[in-house]
């Protein structure tokens, strides 16, 4: 199935969010999980936990650029 990019761009932001949510729900409930390695499954669980933490408290997140700078500062301290 192919959805032209123009059709997606024509959607409102709310409609795009709904589309992403529907697609993610399908992916999340798909049988692909049966074929994951233990490591990949662990990583997926970590991502899901972090997403849940963010969804419960979005103000706890920091911008990507700030996170990168913090990591660079930590590396410089080594």
pLDDT single digits (tens) 9-52 = 999 998 999 999 888 888 777 766 677 788 888 998 999 999 99
The whole-number pLDDT of residue 66 equals: 94
User: Residue 63's domain spans which residues?
Assistant: 5-77
pLDDT score of 67 more than 90: yes
CB-based contact 54:61 (threshold 8 Å): yes
Count of domains in the chain?
A: 1
pLDDT of residue 25: 84
The pLDDT, as a whole number, for residue 36 is 77
Per-residue confidence band for 78, with pLDDT thresholds at 50, 70 and 90: confident
């Amino acid at each position: 199935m192919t959805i032209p990019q123009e059709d997606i761009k024509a959607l409102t932001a709310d409609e795009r969010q709904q589309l992403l949510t529907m697609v993610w729900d399908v992916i999340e409930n798909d049988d692909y999980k049966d074929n994951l390695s233990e490591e990949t499954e662990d990583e997926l669980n970590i991502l899901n936990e972090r997403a849940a933490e963010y969804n419960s408290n979005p103000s706890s997140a920091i911008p990507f650029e700030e996170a990168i700078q913090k990591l660079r500062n930590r590396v410089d301290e080594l």
